[in-house]
Structure 1
């Protein structure tokens, strides 16, 4: 024993030791499961016919029970000629099949079975493989069947009996078709009318997409098929124009148009309807930028101010815990570098992006709202929003977008949206100062933008506000709807300003916040980010009472957001009363109740969170 104690133990196990241990475990399991078979075979007898391994013609080799058969003279390896027998209820069988399943890249049952029998023979292997596959999370996700939506009840006009055909009609355009007219080729469109009850169709030809062409096609249709009681269409401009003609020119259109009721099923309404369907299916998970915004909130609350080291560490930790929230490849590289304990400068990984130019995306802007909610001083909001965004976006067109977003939320929180023109003028003034430096001008020149790109976009926003009518296409053309901060933050601000008043293209029962979200989605492009930023600005203006309860119930982390908003409100009051410096080291979770009840015009404005 003393000699053994003095003998140094190896630092790690060798391959031979591991293989020997594996065989010993298998011998132990076999002798425990097949004691009678071992006894008879070692005594030179065959196994009984009632044994469930009888058909395998088992034999004992090196103390292991193996499959017999007629391949003993083959040049194949011993493990392939005579696989080791294992019972299906062995724990080692489950472990072995899980290893094989990963080894073959989550292959199917036959693939696993072929690899298994290169060395082992598990009785009832198919059953065990099915059990392993059913417990594999990756396979269940990859092989999951899509959920089929249950169809709703048919509307009344689809099932109303005893009415003539084409009493209730749906209408739409299709085409264009090129036809030859004299020596030129012109476009012609088809106008399809379908009876909502019996699905009969009637087609007219329209020479163009204008209102007059549609009215003429409708006249011909009614002259041929009879009076229409109800007409349904989308929100095409020609259909809306015909509706306005009907309302304003009842005399000229009277006999044909003033008897029917026209229903507009607009693209915005349909899009919001699809969103409501999604909300009804369960909790909607938040994405990468929202996850990082939550990290910003937690860092501000924990440190009672801005701490770039703590915030960077939380970004990296959040990505490590939940990497499947849709992070882009660029930010993933930054977050991996931020997780390194040897990193001294937390801003360096972002500066290394795009060959040293840095990112100018809108991710930093999307998570900028908490800075506006935490600090009463506008200078602190500008400074900390910029520094917080620079952790992942070192290009001035990226972090200045975050500054603009934070300023918009902060001013909205103070009630500035009550005077929209003054609100946009104040933003232009602030951004004139923010962009008045050589770094911003140099970045703008590299990207071939104006010297002060955000100021220039805000002037476009003001011009669009002055127009009596603005189409979605004009907004996209003037402001953009892409993933760059320059092409999304001003767009989000315009969505808020545009939807302060009811709009024809949106349902009348929508409130201001609902109109803002719906209009943001209608612009297309980077809809989730634009809608999120617009929602933060509008939420600060309208308050949490404007958010539909269905939205709150179906959003992941809604309860945490409500709690954190109240704590940010307390931090806001701490800073306004001199209780914090903006870079504090202590938690604000124990702030007094009297501080949270103090008034600065933000008590009910936690909707931005």
Structure 2
């Protein structure tokens, strides 16, 4: 498997996990099982009432980042923030509370690096560290896979646009370092990522990730929108499954914040197994497949654009 195949797998996996999880978002595992058994197919209606294969804010914001990187030829957080605002003003059917609050502030004139900080500071513990930045950050791993110091910095900065909590900013870094390690075929990608993670990363982040893959059981996972729960559950399924489809299906069938847990698991599983391992029926259901492949190809050869 070549690096381009893995790179395409990252963006396609993010979108497939997002789209598979969209119709069952906020449902319990029992409710999903009662209706679908094990949900394996892209289905329509359900949460948000959209056609099968419809992506949500996870992939839409990831596309904003990927397009900015390709078109600007650099990481430009102000440009990314402007793209987020334009997307927000288009009236997306799904958007997180912290993201909406921060983008509203930017639209009202706040700078990209103040908006997320301001929102974070007024949110109480328990609602200040959502998964709205880890779900979208994977394109950065493709562009900066060979420069881990820069990858950590841009991952944290991309999070700060809307999610300034250190668990979110360093969570994006940990996720992207794991993806970068997988692009090089690392057999222990999460361990390598945690070894490289900045020393000031929160201990709570390390505590939930260090047991993966062998020191935690599936029954101990949580399915909430808390960033640490999403990272732990998504990475667990991506790194323990035998194939991409199983990783994404298992993640989505956890219930709860299914689109984002699926997107995180999908991005990592895509890097692990490559785009060639994806079920064609899933890729056929996505309207964005060709664009995602094209962006991934460009981002995985950054010398061509940076």
CA contact (8 A) 2:43 2:53 kept: no
| TM-score for both structures, normalised by structure 2 | 0.79
CA contact (8 A) 1:351 1:357 kept: no
Q: 1:337 to 1:492 in 2, by over 3 A?
A: same
> The residue matched to 2:78 in structure 1 has which SS?
helix
1:473 equivalent to 2:213? Answer no
State the 1:311 CA deviation: 0.8
* C-alpha separation in 2, matches of 1:314 and 1:457: 32
Deviations 1:193-214 (A, max 9, x none): xxxxxxxxxxxxxxxxxxxxxx
* C-alpha separation in 2, matches of 1:392 and 1:276: 29
Q: 1:423 to 1:332 in 2, by over 3 A?
A: closer
Q: 1:331 to 1:277 in 2, by over 3 A?
A: closer
* C-alpha separation in 2, matches of 1:461 and 1:515: 17
Higher normalized contact order (CA 8 Å, seq sep 6+, divided by chain length): 2
CA contact (8 A) 1:493 1:534 kept: yes
State the 1:269 CA deviation: 8.0
Match of 2:12 in 1: none
Match of 1:517 in 2: 248
* C-alpha separation in 2, matches of 1:423 and 1:519: 20
CA contact (8 A) 2:58 2:263 kept: no
1:487 equivalent to 2:229? Answer yes
State the 1:462 CA deviation: 4.3
Q: 1:427 to 1:334 in 2, by over 3 A?
A: same
* C-alpha separation in 1, matches of 2:169 and 2:117: 12
* C-alpha separation in 2, matches of 1:535 and 1:405: 12
Deviations 1:114-155 (A, max 9, x none): xxxxxxxxxxxxxxxxxxxxxxxxxxxxxxxxxxxxxxxxxx
Paired residues, number: 266
Q: 1:338 to 1:557 in 2, by over 3 A?
A: same
> The residue matched to 1:365 in structure 2 has which SS?
coil
Deviations 1:348-393 (A, max 9, x none): 1111114446931111111111011111211121111111111000
Moved more, 324-333 or 305-314: 324-333
* C-alpha separation in 2, matches of 1:415 and 1:349: 37
> The residue matched to 1:530 in structure 2 has which SS?
helix
| TM-score for both structures, normalised by structure 1 | 0.41
Q: 1:269 to 1:545 in 2, by over 3 A?
A: farther
Unaligned runs of 5+ in 2: 1-32
After TM superposition, the structure 1 = structure 2 runs for residues 274-289 of structure 1, keeping only pairs within 5 Å, are 275-278=41-44, 283-289=52-58
Deviations 1:51-88 (A, max 9, x none): xxxxxxxxxxxxxxxxxxxxxxxxxxxxxxxxxxxxxx
Match of 1:291 in 2: 60
Greater share of residues in strand: 1
Match of 2:30 in 1: none
Q: 1:526 to 1:348 in 2, by over 3 A?
A: same
* C-alpha separation in 1, matches of 2:34 and 2:276: 26
* C-alpha separation in 2, matches of 1:317 and 1:324: 10
Match of 1:409 among 156, 160, 179: 179
State the 1:304 CA deviation: 0.6
Q: 1:498 to 1:393 in 2, by over 3 A?
A: same
Root-mean-square deviation over aligned CA pairs: 2.5
Match of 2:191 in 1: 425
State the 1:276 CA deviation: 4.5
State the 1:526 CA deviation: 1.4
State the 1:485 CA deviation: 1.2
Match of 1:214 in 2: none
CA contact (8 A) 1:408 1:493 kept: no
* C-alpha separation in 1, matches of 2:55 and 2:277: 20
Q: 1:413 to 1:522 in 2, by over 3 A?
A: same
CA contact (8 A) 1:286 1:325 kept: no
CA contact (8 A) 1:350 1:394 kept: yes
* C-alpha separation in 2, matches of 1:400 and 1:481: 20
CA contact (8 A) 1:365 1:405 kept: yes
Match of 1:454 in 2: 205
Q: 1:352 to 1:425 in 2, by over 3 A?
A: same
Q: 1:294 to 1:277 in 2, by over 3 A?
A: closer
1:324 equivalent to 2:63? Answer no
CA contact (8 A) 1:284 1:556 kept: yes
CA contact (8 A) 1:398 1:485 kept: yes
State the 1:334 CA deviation: 1.3
* C-alpha separation in 2, matches of 1:411 and 1:339: 36
State the 1:549 CA deviation: 1.3
After TM superposition, the structure 1 = structure 2 runs for residues 265-280 of structure 1, keeping only pairs within 5 Å, are 270-273=37-40, 275-278=41-44
Q: 1:459 to 1:283 in 2, by over 3 A?
A: closer
State the 1:513 CA deviation: 0.3
Match of 1:564 in 2: 295
1:552 equivalent to 2:278? Answer no
* C-alpha separation in 1, matches of 2:245 and 2:262: 10
* C-alpha separation in 1, matches of 2:275 and 2:165: 34
* C-alpha separation in 2, matches of 1:335 and 1:425: 34
CA contact (8 A) 1:297 1:564 kept: yes
